[in-house]
A and B are shown apart, each in its own frame.
Chain A
Amino acid sequence: MGHTLIEKVFGRKVGREVKPGDIITVDVDWCMIDDIMAPFAISKFEEMGFSKVWDPNKVVLIYDHFVPATQVDDSRHFRVADAFAEKYGVKNVHRTDGICHQLMTEAGYVKPGDIAFGTDSHTVTYGCVGAFSTGIGYTEMAGILGTGQLWVKVPESIKVVVDGTLPKNVTSKDVILRVIGDLTASGATYQSLEFSGSCIENMSVASRMTMSNMAVEAGAKCGIFVPDQKTCDYCNIDYSDEIKELYPDEDAVYSRVLHYQAEDLVPVMACPSLVDNIKPVSEIKGTKVDEVFLGSCTNGRLEDLQLAAKILKGKHVAPYLKFIVTPASRKIYLEALRDGTLEILSDAGAIITTPGCGLCCGRAGGILSDHEVVVATNNRNFLGRMGTSKVQIYLASPASAAATAIAGEITEAPLDLF
């Protein structure tokens, strides 16, 4: 019987064939700890009685939720994590470089076929390069720090096939929102979302990241893409036979197959306050908006900023509307600065903040108050996520977000703009 991509990743890791439902113990290639969770993971690690970190070179500490710090105890997290890094010889510490999920692939850590765990649910992002990655709690992270291992139940896979070419105002964000809407927020629980099809093959790695990032919003354990030449270029490695072998078998068994024709897809948004409450933008057009947020590990990459700049060039955001742009990493900020993207956005009235989680994690970066409406490119619109529980959050693509910022009300990017 053939194997799915995730079965192949795990099978190679444990050196034998695996099937869904198998409970296996895997050696961990990377573990990522963010600033919010670091003190908790560290204290659990110490409580567990370990005297050393199994492999300090495989541990990456990233400060992003609290950059810049907004509360007096925030910097305590930096100090605790810094002290841990020093004591146990952890060299991979990113203090102000951007969002953890952006950095784990951008800075060259996670590669195709790797196994990575992180103390944040959007750790699923690294599936964009054909790795298995998923979010865990800080207690399990503490266990990995000591042992280098974790148990995993091999998941069943749902195959999501997208063929064809997307309309110009539809991005990979619209695709994944649509998939989540169809699956529901719990429709992929415990399962792997495996993406394929000609549309996916033509997507940039950045666009794929948007989709793997949001797999968790359908409850998935991971969202994974077949690593190809593009992936290897991004990871700065050879497209070797070993990587090619990860390609899922023709006769692999999937619990479900979803098929989409890209030409049929339209711009959509996730409406308050559930990620699976998906509606075509045309149905909610005209909803007045107070703020637009472009950023996060979902959509804070260069191509997202460039797309917004293309739409905003020579225009200005609507009066009284706040348009907050938070690039996902220092590298992206610099690239967007050098290619003129930031200048266009700033001229259009954007408030450009420093790279970090920003508004997405709901501690700063553009918090809203009762009855305000925000259109955001990030991954969650949960009740109270960006302010009070009376804030209405719509999740959108960078294109829809930029068009909405100009109009001051929900709208999709007009096709003649491209």
Chain B
Amino acid sequence: MGMTMAEKIIAAAAGVVSTKAGDIETVTLDRLMSNDGTTHLTIDMYNNKLKHPRIADTKKLVWIVDHNVPADSPKTAASQKKMRDFAREHGIDFYEGQGVCHQIMMENYVRPGELIFGADSHTCAYGALGAFGTGVGCTDYLYAMVTGTSWLLVPETIRFNLRGKLPKGVYARDLILTIIGKISANGANYKAMEFAGEGLHSLSIADRISICNLCVEAGAKTALMEVDEVAMDYLKEHGREPKACYQSDEDAVFAETYDIDLSTIVPIVAKPHFVDNVVPATESYGVKIDEAFLGSCNNGRIEDLRVGAAVIKGKKVAPKVRFLVVPASRAVYNQALKEGLLDIFMEAGAIVMNPNCSVCWGACQGVIGEGETLISTGTRNFKGRAGHKESFIYLASAATVTASAIAGQITTADRV
């Protein structure tokens, strides 16, 4: 019987010839990413709960300070210091203030065919390069850190066959929100979401990251995309070779299969307070906003900034709206600077921040107050995620977010 991409990657990581959904496999991990959201807890357990603490393979660890940068309280400063000191002592690859963890991983580490644990739910983004990335808690992370291995329940796969092209003014974000709306916020629980088909080839790596990244919001364990020329070009550009490029076999068994015609997708908004509460953007027109956010591991890449800059060039942010623009990494920041995009945003009245998680994480920058409304390219619109428990978050594409920042209310780029 044929195998899916997920099954193939796990089989390889487990050193077995084949595996199937429902099996439990012990796998050797290729990479272990952790950020300042939880690493201090991992370190505490490492130091206090283990009898003979040791790291299985330091070279596989990547630690990234991205959530509260620069630190906003003595508490976050202390947990970052703990992380920095530990990384320094053990020679762990360490990044601080360089950008959002998943973007740094994509730029520097992720290879097709790898199995990667990240102590962050959006680790599933790595599927954009055909790697199996999945989010784990710090206990699982610690186990993997000291043993180099972990166990995995092999997931069933939902397959999405993409065809056609996204219409002009419609973005990957609209596509994935449409999909999440269709299958619901738990529609892919424990499952892998796999994307294939000729439609995939029209999507940039940025688009693909945006799609895979958000699959966890449908409950998925991971997201996977076939590696094509576009992916190979990206790897080459970043000086990396694939570990292995997998495709699902023709006779692989999928839990469900969806055929999606990209040309039918329209601009979408996810309304408060769930990611699957999606409507066409037209239905949210006129909702007054207090803040707009362009950034995050989902939409803070150069392609997204280009989209936003094109929308806002020569225009101004609405007087009372706070428009945060946060490049996803230093590389993105530098590129945006060179291309003049930062100039456009600053000239328009945006708040251009240093690369970090920013208001997507909701703790350190652009926190919104009681009764306020945010439109965001971030990953989640859960109640209270960006600040006050009585506040509202809408999720949308870079274009829609930027257009809304100009209008002071939700609108689409064709209307500003």
* In contact, B76 and A367 (Cβ under 8 angstroms): yes
A363 in contact (CB, < 8 A): yes
Residues of chain B in range 331-387 having any CB-CB distance to chain A below 8 Å: 333-334, 337-338, 342-343, 346-347, 349, 351-354, 358-359, 363-370, 372, 387
A337 vs B71: C-alpha distance in the bound complex, in angstroms? 24
| Interface SS, B side | mixed
A203 in contact (CB, < 8 A): no
B36 in contact (CB, < 8 A): no
B201 in contact (CB, < 8 A): no
* In contact, B369 and A69 (Cβ under 8 angstroms): yes
B290 in contact (CB, < 8 A): yes
* In contact, B337 and A369 (Cβ under 8 angstroms): no
Q: Smallest CB-CB separation from B84: which chain A residue? A: A320
* In contact, B369 and A368 (Cβ under 8 angstroms): no
* In contact, A72 and B369 (Cβ under 8 angstroms): yes
Residues of chain A in range 63-85 having any CB-CB distance to chain B below 8 Å: 67-76, 78-79, 82
Binds B, one of A176-184, A278-286, A348-356: A348-356
B239 in contact (CB, < 8 A): no
Number of B residues near A (Cβ < 8 Å) is 50
A364 vs B84: C-alpha distance in the bound complex, in angstroms? 19
* In contact, B78 and A68 (Cβ under 8 angstroms): no
* In contact, A75 and B72 (Cβ under 8 angstroms): no
Interface string of B128-164 (1 = CB under 8 A from A): 0000000000000000000000000000000000000
- Chain B residues within 8 Å of A330, by CB: 346, 349
Query: Whole-angstrom distance from the CB of A290 to the nearest CB of chain B?
Result: 8
- Chain B residues within 8 Å of A366, by CB: 70-71
A353 vs B365: C-alpha distance in the bound complex, in angstroms? 11
* In contact, A372 and B81 (Cβ under 8 angstroms): yes
B94 in contact (CB, < 8 A): yes
* In contact, B354 and A337 (Cβ under 8 angstroms): no
A347 in contact (CB, < 8 A): yes
A388 in contact (CB, < 8 A): yes
Q: A322-B97, A330-B346, A343-B338 are in contact. Are A72 and B78 (CB under 8 A)?
A: no
* In contact, A320 and B88 (Cβ under 8 angstroms): yes
**Which single member of B74, B319, B349 contacts A367 (CB below 8 Å)?**
B74
* In contact, A79 and B74 (Cβ under 8 angstroms): no
A366 vs B357: C-alpha distance in the bound complex, in angstroms? 15
Residues of chain B in range 260-312 having any CB-CB distance to chain A below 8 Å: 290-291
- Chain B residues within 8 Å of A338, by CB: 343
A378 vs B77: C-alpha distance in the bound complex, in angstroms? 20
Q: A346-B334, A351-B69, A353-B354 are in contact. Are A69 and B368 (CB under 8 A)?
A: yes
A351 vs B343: C-alpha distance in the bound complex, in angstroms? 17
- Chain B residues within 8 Å of A73, by CB: 369-370
* In contact, B369 and A351 (Cβ under 8 angstroms): no
* In contact, B77 and A387 (Cβ under 8 angstroms): yes
**Which single member of A79, A347, A359 contacts B70 (CB below 8 Å)?**
A359
B48 in contact (CB, < 8 A): no
Query: Whole-angstrom distance from the CB of A49 to the nearest CB of chain B?
Result: 28
* In contact, B351 and A68 (Cβ under 8 angstroms): yes
* In contact, A369 and B97 (Cβ under 8 angstroms): no
- Chain A residues within 8 Å of B388, by CB: 72
- Chain A residues within 8 Å of B359, by CB: 68
* In contact, B353 and A353 (Cβ under 8 angstroms): yes
A315 in contact (CB, < 8 A): no
A130 in contact (CB, < 8 A): no
Residues of chain B in range 60-100 having any CB-CB distance to chain A below 8 Å: 69-78, 80-81, 84, 88, 94, 96-97
A75 vs B369: C-alpha distance in the bound complex, in angstroms? 5
Query: Whole-angstrom distance from the CB of B330 to the nearest CB of chain A?
Result: 7
Query: Whole-angstrom distance from the CB of B384 to the nearest CB of chain A?
Result: 9
B322 in contact (CB, < 8 A): yes
B320 in contact (CB, < 8 A): yes
* In contact, B367 and A351 (Cβ under 8 angstroms): no
Residues of chain A in range 363-398 having any CB-CB distance to chain B below 8 Å: 363-370, 372, 387-388
* In contact, B346 and A75 (Cβ under 8 angstroms): no
Q: A82-B320, A352-B354 are in contact. Are A334 and B72 (CB under 8 A)?
A: no
A351 vs B354: C-alpha distance in the bound complex, in angstroms? 6
Q: A75-B369, A330-B346 are in contact. Are A324 and B81 (CB under 8 A)?
A: no
* In contact, B70 and A388 (Cβ under 8 angstroms): no
A319 vs B76: C-alpha distance in the bound complex, in angstroms? 20
Q: Could you name 11 residue pairs across A and B whose Cβ atoms are closer than 8 Å?
A: A68-B322, A69-B322, A70-B363, A75-B290, A75-B387, A96-B322, A320-B96, A322-B97, A342-B337, A368-B77, A369-B75
- Which 6 A-B residue pairs are closest in the complex by CB-CB distance? A366-B70, A75-B369, A369-B78, A364-B72, A369-B77, A351-B97
